[in-house]
Amino acid sequence: MADGAIDVRLENVSKSFDRVQAVREVSIDIPRGEFFSMLGPSGCGKTTTLRIIAGFERPSQGEVYIRGVRVTAVPPYRRDYSMVFQSFALFPHLTVAENVAFGLRMRRVPGAERRRRAQEALDMVKLEELAQRYPRQLSGGQQQRVALARALVVQPAVLLLDEPLGALDKKLREEMQVELRQLQRRLGTTTVFVTHDQEEALTMSDRIAIMRDGVIEQMGPPREVYERPRTEFVASFLGASNFFDARVIERRGAEAAVDLGFGRGVIAHVDAPGTDLRIAVRPEKIMLAPLGAPGTHDARIREIVYRGVTTHIYLDCAGREVIVFLQNTAPQALAWRIGDAVSFAWEAGNAVVLDRV
Amino acid sequence: MPSSLTGFEPAPLGDFLRRASSYALIATPILFFIVFFLGPLLYLFVVSLLEPSKTELYGTRLTLENYERILVDDFYHRIVTRTLLVGSLVTGTALLIAYPVAMAIARMSPRWRILAMIALMFPLMLSNVVRAYGWIAVLGRQGVVNSVLIGVGAIDTPLAMLYSIETVVIGLMTILLPYMIISIANALTSIDRAYSEAAQSLGANPWRTFIHVTLPLSSPGVAAGMQIVFFLTLSAYVTIALLGGPRFSLLVSLVYRSAMAFQWTQAAALAFVLLTVALCVGTLIVLVLRPGRVQGRG
Ligand SMILES: Nc1ncnc2c1ncn2[C@@H]1O[C@H](COP(=O)(O)OP(=O)(O)O)[C@@H](O)[C@H]1O
Ligand SMILES: [Mg+2]
């Protein structure tokens, strides 16, 4: 960001509950205006991390800063953020307008201005007509918008969202993803978004942190974490991957010729030392080729799954499974039959060398 | 129905049987309700509209005189007022004491909470009569309080603490307190933590979170507790007689006395006045607290 201001900073934060260590030494800097996602399987510590920023959990160790102010020991109601809860947590005894105005009321904004700003916030999420309804009279999508309006109306330094779209059905969720992202861009609100849905994280984020067992395994822009996963976990949690053991035969600069066990291949971007590597290749980056072409590997088609946009082809290559995703653009993608003998290959640059863990 | 499109025709007989059995399922409780509740109530109402009789339990001519007497006579006015006063005092003090206790219970870990709830239920297993005698043992002329005060030389003659409106109120309040605590504690524990967190995330300190969120969200439990305590106060004949003494009367005492004196028509009319008081106060509680807002109704 232009001024480089950091809105949220976690410094070496850990959190233990009785037995479980939910968060381990997490450090994050989130610059102003960024849409930052925390992605990971259930139980990996996403919610706990978010609740530490919100002040609902006190970290066992480490410091929390919001807009440069250390808030580690500051109670939630004195921190400059607002939050959208997974259950929305709209107050059932208040109307939509009163719900949205709640934060302003707590900040002692005078009545007239309060009503005006609440109305504006409702306009923003296109719910101006429903101001006098009660939350239970709204659909899930409408409740979601009210929760968003209620959080944004106070113009928080940081917007925290804990799986806010989890309760919506797929179609609505995808609409809300786009809408939420547009709104966030327009307002420039620094946002921390928790999700276990990798597609959602890829779609919406400026930057993603992939968490596992309380640790951030990798952090970076969507393209980077998808194209250059550093660990097997990241490569398989974010999309799908084929994994191979590769032994370096010969190095030429950043490229290397490797023995894959079932043939020879070339890989690029080899900065890892040693000769025994673990590599990942995305299924959509594997090409099927005519049988026996030079530099390819022979295999047999074991299973074909037609998925509409793509066809998933499961190959048997000397006893190991290799998955290939084909775009259904060329008729040839649909021409394969189970049992066919094929060859496959990938471009050197599409093989990613993983960290050994 | 597009059922023919799917090639599936529901069997008419099976359908009928299913519907019949579901009616039977609903019919049973309705039947019980009519036989054991609505029937006797209607009977009582008819009795309250019959003229008194010297030789029978009630006469045969319809009249409003049983109600007229209650509406006109100052004596009855005083009794109704006192009944409302005692009911309000018992309910009010029970609420003030129960709410903080319930909050403490709601904050306990589930294990301790269950233990606390069980502890609260113990006194409810004892008869009210036993507990009223307990109060007599404490507050009576030779009771614990008087013995101690005389023993330390604070007083010479025993204080008359029984047989007053305060004793009745304190006695009833302590006897009924567990109902209020359990009712409110249940409501408080069932409030999703996310609501108070949402309030805090919007800048509400603990006090304002309580006033604007926790309190209104607990209104179903508060309303239920207040209704239970008020209704039980209205009908606590024995406790009122034991702690208030022979000359202390509330509406329920008059019902009892009229019935014992074989003035059935008068007793029935008084019972309906009592019922009306209960319904009015019960409705008032609901109108003021509006628990329906929280429970997903109007
Ligand atoms: N209040 C708590 N008490 C004990 N354990 C907890 C508590 N909150 C979370 N945990 C544990 O911490 C771990 C991380 O939980 P959470 O942050 O909710 O994960 P996520 O949101 O990624 O699904 C889990 O093992 C969970 O059981
Ligand atoms: Mg979670």
> Kindly report the CA angle at B240 between B235 and B242, in degrees rounded to 5?
135
Amino acid identity, position A59: P
Q: What is the mean pLDDT of residues A11-29?
A: 94
- Rounded CA gap, A241 and A353, in Å? 12
Residue A179's alpha-carbon distances to A85, A126, A140, A144, in angstroms, are 17, 11, 15, 12
DSSP string, B137-205: HHHSTTSHHHHHHHHTTS-SS----SSSHHHHHHHHHHHHHHHHHHHHHHHHHTS-HHHHHHHHHTT--
pLDDT band at B178 (very low <50, low <70, confident <90, very high): very high
Residue A98's alpha-carbon distances to A7, A111, A274, in angstroms, are 29, 11, 63
Residue A281's alpha-carbon distances to A229, A356, B73, B147, in angstroms, are 10, 16, 96, 91
Q: What is the mean pLDDT of residues A60-70?
A: 95
A95 touches chain B (CB under 8 A): no
Has residue B7 got a pLDDT over 50? no
Query: Is A17 touching ligand 1 by the criterion CB < 6 Å?
Result: yes
| Residues B36 and B181 both lie in one domain | no
- Please give the helix or strand (H or E) that residue B32 lies within, else none: helix B12-33
- Rounded CA gap, B181 and B120, in Å? 8
Q: What is the mean pLDDT of residues B204-218?
A: 96
Has residue A286 got a pLDDT over 60? yes
Q: What is the mean pLDDT of residues A262-270?
A: 82
Lowest mean pLDDT among A164-168, A207-211, B186-190, B261-265: A164-168
What's the gap in Å between A16 CA and the centre of ligand 1?
9
Q: Which residues of A touch B202 (CB under 8 A)?
A: 77, 82, 102-103, 106, 150-151, 154
Atom 4 (ligand 1) nearest CA: A17
Q: Do B198 and A136 touch (CB under 8 A)?
A: no
Nearest to B194 among A82, A89, A134 (CB): A89
Are A210 and A234 contacting, i.e. CB atoms less than 8 angstroms apart? yes
Has residue B243 got a pLDDT over 50? yes
- Please give the helix or strand (H or E) that residue A95 lies within, else none: none
Q: Is residue B154 in some structural domain?
A: yes
What's the gap in Å between A321 CA and the centre of ligand 2?
33
Query: Is A141 touching ligand 1 by the criterion CB < 6 Å?
Result: no
Q: What is the mean pLDDT of residues B153-176?
A: 88
Q: What is the pLDDT of chain B when averaged over all its residues?
A: 89
Q: Do B197 and A91 touch (CB under 8 A)?
A: no
| Residues B2 and B126 both lie in one domain | no
Both tokens of A173, joined, read: 């969720």
**Helices B74-107 and B264-289: angle between axes, nearest 10 degrees:** 40
Has residue B121 got a pLDDT over 50? yes
| Residues B40 and B74 both lie in one domain | no
| Residues B226 and B178 both lie in one domain | yes
Q: What is the mean pLDDT of residues A213-236?
A: 95
Query: Is A23 touching ligand 1 by the criterion CB < 6 Å?
Result: no
Q: Is residue B53 in some structural domain?
A: no
Q: What is the mean pLDDT of residues A270-277?
A: 76
Which of A26, A47, A197, A198 maximizes ligand 1 atoms within 8 Å of its Cβ, making it the mutation to test the pocket?
A: A47
Lowest mean pLDDT among A92-96, A288-292, B31-35: A288-292
Query: Is A216 touching ligand 1 by the criterion CB < 6 Å?
Result: no
Share of chain A above pLDDT 70, in %: 98
Q: Do B212 and A102 touch (CB under 8 A)?
A: yes
Q: What is the pLDDT of chain A when averaged over all its residues?
A: 91
What's the gap in Å between A196 CA and the centre of ligand 1?
14
Q: Which of residues 137-156 of A touch B (CB under 8 A)?
A: 150-151, 154
Are A206 and A37 contacting, i.e. CB atoms less than 8 angstroms apart? no
Domain span at residue B19 reads 1-48
Residue A24's alpha-carbon distances to A27, A70, A198, in angstroms, are 9, 19, 22
Are A75 and B200 contacting, i.e. CB atoms less than 8 angstroms apart? yes
Q: Is residue B102 in some structural domain?
A: yes
DSSP string, B38-100: IHHHHHHHHHHTBPP-SSSSS-SSB-SHHHHHHHH-HHHHHHHHHHHHHHHHHHHHHHHHHHH
Residue B136 confidence (pLDDT)? 86
Has residue A27 got a pLDDT over 50? yes
A325 touches chain B (CB under 8 A): no
The residues that bridge with A64 in the sheet, in sequence order, are A10
- Rounded CA gap, A6 and B105, in Å? 42
Are B191 and B217 contacting, i.e. CB atoms less than 8 angstroms apart? yes
Has residue B284 got a pLDDT over 50? yes
Has residue B187 got a pLDDT over 70? yes
Q: Is residue B84 in some structural domain?
A: yes
Has residue A276 got a pLDDT over 60? yes
Share of chain A above pLDDT 90, in %: 70
- Rounded CA gap, B122 and B177, in Å? 12
Q: Is residue B28 in some structural domain?
A: yes
Are A52 and A23 contacting, i.e. CB atoms less than 8 angstroms apart? yes
For residue A168, report the phi and psi dihedrals to the nearest 5 degrees. Answer: -95, 155
Residue A2 confidence (pLDDT)? 44
| Residues B33 and B75 both lie in one domain | no
Interface ipTM? 0.86
Q: Is residue B180 in some structural domain?
A: yes
First vs last Cα of chain B: how many Å apart?
34
pLDDT band at B157 (very low <50, low <70, confident <90, very high): confident
The distance of A56 to chain B (nearest Cα, Å) reads 8
A81 touches chain B (CB under 8 A): yes
| Residues B119 and B194 both lie in one domain | yes
For residue A40, give the ligand 1 atom closest to its CA: 22
Residue A268 confidence (pLDDT)? 84
Residue B207's alpha-carbon distances to A98, B190, B203, in angstroms, are 19, 20, 11
pTM of the model: 0.83
First vs last Cα of chain A: how many Å apart?
34
| Residues B125 and B270 both lie in one domain | yes
Could you give the dihedral angle defined by the CA atoms of residues B226, B227, B230 and B235, in that order, rounded to the nearest 10 degrees? -150
CATH code of B186's domain: 1.10.3720.10
Query: Is A22 touching ligand 1 by the criterion CB < 6 Å?
Result: yes
| Residues B169 and B224 both lie in one domain | yes
**Closest-CA residue to B242 (of B163, B187, B184, B180):** B163
Has residue B10 got a pLDDT over 80? no
Q: Which residues of B touch A83 (CB under 8 A)?
A: 197-198, 201
Residue B140 confidence (pLDDT)? 84
Q: What is the mean pLDDT of residues B83-112?
A: 96
Q: Is residue B183 in some structural domain?
A: yes
Q: What is the mean pLDDT of residues A187-192?
A: 95
**Closest-CA residue to A272 (of A222, A213, A228):** A228
Q: Is residue B78 in some structural domain?
A: yes
Query: Is A56 touching ligand 1 by the criterion CB < 6 Å?
Result: no
Has residue A169 got a pLDDT over 80? yes
| Residues B42 and B80 both lie in one domain | no
Residue A76's alpha-carbon distances to A36, A65, A313, B83, B103, in angstroms, are 21, 13, 51, 47, 21
| Residues B38 and B80 both lie in one domain | no
Give the sign of the dihedral formed by CA A224, CA A31, CA A143, CA A46.
Answer: positive
- Rounded CA gap, A314 and A304, in Å? 6
Residue A344's alpha-carbon distances to A258, A290, A294, A321, in angstroms, are 16, 8, 10, 12
Q: Do B192 and A81 touch (CB under 8 A)?
A: no
Q: Count of CB contacts below 8 A, A vs B?
A: 72
pLDDT greater at residue A295 or residue A200: A200
Q: What is the count of structural domains for chain B? A: 2
Residue A48 confidence (pLDDT)? 96
- Rounded CA gap, B171 and B163, in Å? 11
Atom 11 (ligand 1) nearest CA: A22
Atom 18 (ligand 1) nearest CA: A47
**Closest-CA residue to B47 (of B59, B33, B29):** B59
| Residues B99 and B235 both lie in one domain | yes
Q: Residue A84's closest chain B neighbor by CA? A: B198
| Residues B223 and B113 both lie in one domain | yes
A17 touches chain B (CB under 8 A): no
Which of A20, A46, A215 maximizes ligand 1 atoms within 8 Å of its Cβ, making it the mutation to test the pocket?
A: A20
For residue A214, give the ligand 1 atom closest to its CA: 14
